[in-house]
Structure 1
Amino acid sequence: MPLLLIQGKYRLKNTKPDGDTVHFVADNPDEWKLVGGKHPVNASSSGDAALRLEAIDALETHYAGENQPLQLAHAAAAELLTWLGFNDVRREPNENVTASTPESVPGWILTGGGDVNNRAVAFAGRGAPPAASGTAVVVDVPLLRQTANHHLAALGLAYPTFYAGLFADLRQELTAVAQQARAARQGVWAQDVTTTGFKVDDLTTITDHAVIMPKLFRRLVDYLKLGMPVPCFPAYLAGKEDMVTVLSTGERLVGLHHVVTVTNGHTVRLTRPIEDLLFDEG
């Protein structure tokens, strides 16, 4: 899978990094212009841009003013920053970083484009890059294993979440390490109820108690804030028209209502393992 390699440094001050997002400053700001894809990366003149880590999804610390269970959400964020090389990070209550030690750390990313929010979707590496900055690099499994994305999935601190365009060998590797973490009940997998089901009494069910895949959490937050009853959630999902492929069968679906059920009025459940789903962008 060929992706553009960009060398630079990670920085935290005045940002809100979590378990799958962090800011990166390219050593050569012009290299952001080489990034392909239909969504341009929003980078400053100094080369600073937000990253969204490819193929993983960590629990939310601040989505639409809400969070998922914070012990695990903060554990993912802390592990990402420690792995990158930060050893002291100070935050305000709103998750904003006021200071870090060191102020920045060297690293590199592999990216094929931006997301709908104009963040660079990337694999994140630390230290010296494996190739020259500004060049296309074929990302194979050994290189994937050098990234924060793989590290967090292997520890069970992030859900594997796959989007179209990610090569099958990389999906298979991330699926394997995620399944190992699940079997060992590491990280989120010790408490995950995404596929076993969880009764939604109100918003606090998913902000304070139920550990679920973040994509489903985001959809539920948006829905519950409309004041609508839980039994009608599948109809809402149908209207969103998320495109998803079931990898084990090849079936193409329009709308997450095909893989999310609501039973007994309030019990929500994903009917397929998260690693068996391939989402289109959006």
Structure 2
Amino acid sequence: MPYKLIKGEFHVHYPDRPLSGPEPDGDTVKFLPDNRILVDVLSAPGRSAAFNQRGMINLRFEGIDALETHFAGSHQNLEWAEAARDKLLSQIGFTSIEFSDRNPNKIITVDDHPQRGYILANNLDTFGRIIAFVYTGDTAQVDGSQVFIEDSHVNQSLNYQLLEAGLVYPAFYTSLPTDLKQSLAQLVRNTKQENTGLWPESTANTERIANFTEGLTEIENLVMWPKLFRRLVRYVGAGFTNLSQLDAWLREDPINRDDRVLLPNGELGNMHDVIDVTSPLKLRMNYEPEDLVIVPDSTVIPQPPPVKPQPQTNIRIIAALVNPLGKEIGQERVTLLNVSAQEQNVTDWTLADSIGKSIPLPELLNSTVLAAGEVVQVTLNSRVRLNNTGDTITLFDSQGSMVDQVSYARKDAKEEGVTLVF
């Protein structure tokens, strides 16, 4: 899926009303696009861009999740939450930043503001934020260009720099292409191995149990996956004093609590599958965040394609010429193979197209048997026509039961004279 390049400005401060301004953290800044229409076209059914009155919109940095400097009246370990925030603001180019004493998440003065930059985006989240890879400075590429993003693009992003510095956790959603997810997951593993950034202090993971010896209020001091932290804050806010009811509490609300996730084995699971409560005050994760893919509530997981009917005999349709050169009537051909070690009697068998028109197979073969291991190419007549827009070929036995079936699409039949192999 291509990403759209959108140019604009990064804002973290309202000079006219500083205490009503943004509250940037390690993965959130305001973005003022040069052309708002380019953001609006990212909208999907049920989602629209959440612009404020100043024409700005929040960015959600693709692939990363920083520790919370503020969330529902709480926060995570501030050393690392603020380290990610300060790194991001510095990388964007803001200088001489002063936060308010009264509200420590508001910037009251900042130099070199706003800053130019651009994003690569392909989606909006359920809150109307842009999901994006974020870049500083300008680019010669045209605003609104389609970019087929590769590792080289990702490696230049602020998202990548924060992961590489070990200042944020990974958070991979289904919007992230699989190859990029794999590259970023490997970056996280390398950073962990090097004990970079917050990783030596990370807890509630597969190797280190979070031990709430002094009660659940300790979550503000611990370094843990922010998605898990946010669930715990809501859990504590509901009045729970230990973890014994966490699993049941998650399952009660599959939309807001028990998020869907793709597990490392590819199965669809939920947050309760990810978390393991080992005692009323001990918690760990069953999987590492970089091995999970978060499935948004609005995402429909496609069902696996139907299994091709298994042949009831040993005769297979192995190829077809559906778009012959020049005249087609009397030139379309289907290739059959007897895969067995015995000859097969095909008396009263038929070959049919998708609308049910059929030809007796013995008529095409000039025989009622197919020898063991025999490959035969039969030429169709006007009673069965294979459409160049796509069709299905079915072989039926004398009882009308399906023996084998193959299908092809328009794109498969577009070239004249090419034999399709099934």
Which TM-score band applies after superposition, normalised by the shorter structure? Answer: over 0.9
Residue type at the aligned position of 1:120: I
Q: Structure 2 regions of 5+ residues with no counterpart?
A: 14-20, 298-422
Task: Specify the SS of the correspondent of 1:179.
Answer: helix
Task: Calculate percent identity across the aligned residue pairs.
Answer: 32
Question: Residue in 1 aligned with 2:83?
Answer: 75
- The 3 A distance-change label for structure 1 pair 47 and 28 is farther
How far is the alpha carbon of 1:45 from its aligned partner?
6.2
Contact 2:250–2:272 (CA<8 Å) still a contact in 1?
A: yes
Partner residue, 1:50: 58
Instruction: Give TM-score, length-normalised by structure 2.
Output: 0.64
Q: Distance in 1 between matches of 2:56 and 2:273?
A: 39
Distance 2:215 2:127 in 1: 28
State the Cα distance separating 1:77 from its structure 2 match: 0.3
Match of 2:33 in 1: 26
Counterpart residue number, 1:146: 156
Query: Superposition pairs for residues 217-232 of structure 1, below 5 Å?
Result: 217-228=229-240, 229-232=242-245
- Note the alpha carbon deviations across 1:95-120, whole angstroms, 9 max, x for none: 01122111111100111222222111
1:211 aligned to which of 223, 240, 265: 223
Question: Which amino acid is 1:231 matched to?
Answer: S
Q: Is the contact between residue 97 and residue 107 of structure 2 (CA under 8 Å) also seen in structure 1? A: yes
Aligned with residue 123 of structure 2, among 113, 124, 139: 113
Q: 2:220 & 2:106 partners in 1: Cα distance?
A: 19
Q: Which runs of 5+ in 1 are unaligned?
A: none
| Structure 2 residue aligned with 1:246 | 263
Describe the SS at the equivalent of 1:230: coil
Q: Deviations over 1:146-182 (max 9, x none)?
A: 1111110111111111111211111112111111111
Q: 1:3 to 1:145 in 2, by over 3 A?
A: same
Change (3 A) 1:72 1:91: same
Instruction: Output one character per residue of 1:210-260: Cα deviation in whole Å (capped at 9) or x when no partner.
Output: 21000000000000111123111111122232111113x11111x211120
The equivalent residue for 1:11 is 11
Aligned residues: 279
8 Å contact kept, 1:223–1:233? yes
Calculate the aligned-residue CA RMSD, in Å. Answer: 1.5
1:130 deviates by 5.7
Residue 99, structure 1, aligned to residue 109, structure 2:
yes
Counterpart residue type for residue 99 of structure 1: T
Alpha-carbon contact 1:34-1:134 (below 8 Å) kept: no
Map of 1:276 onto structure 2: 291
Given that 1:32 and 1:47 are in contact with CA atoms closer than 8 Å, whether structure 2 keeps it comes out as no
2:188 corresponds to which letter in structure 1?
A: A
Partner Cα separation in structure 2 for residue 223 and residue 216 of structure 1: 11
Q: Is this contact kept in 1: 2:43–2:49, CA < 8 A?
A: no
CA gap of 1:62–1:100, structure 2 versus 1, over 3 A, is: same
Counterpart CA distance in 1 for 2:4 and 2:282 is 43
8 Å contact kept, 1:85–1:105: yes
Question: Matched residues in 2 for 1:33 and 1:5: separation?
Answer: 13
Which of 65, 78, 87 matches 2:95? 87
Relative distance call for 1:45 and 1:137 in structure 2 (3 A) is farther
Larger Rg: 2
Counterparts of 1:129 and 1:63, CA distance in 2? 35
Cα distance 1:96–1:20, how it changes in 2: closer, same or farther (>3 A)? same
Q: 1:128 to 1:198 in 2, by over 3 A?
A: same
2:263 alignment partner AA: V
User: In the alignment, is the contact (CA less than 8 A) between 1:19 and 1:158 conserved in 2?
Assistant: yes
What is the CA distance between 1:35 and its match in structure 2?
A: 1.6
For the residues of structure 2 that align with 1:86 and 1:12, how far apart are their CA atoms? 9
Which stretch shifts more, 64-73 or 23-32?
A: 23-32
- Contact between 2:215 and 2:281, CA under 8 Å: does it hold in 1? no
Please identify which structure carries the higher helix content.
Answer: 1
Q: Which has the bigger relative contact order, CA under 8 A and spacing at least 6?
A: 1
Q: TM-score, normalised by structure 1?
A: 0.94
Q: Which AA in structure 1 matches 2:55?
A: G
Classify the secondary structure of the residue corresponding to 1:240: coil
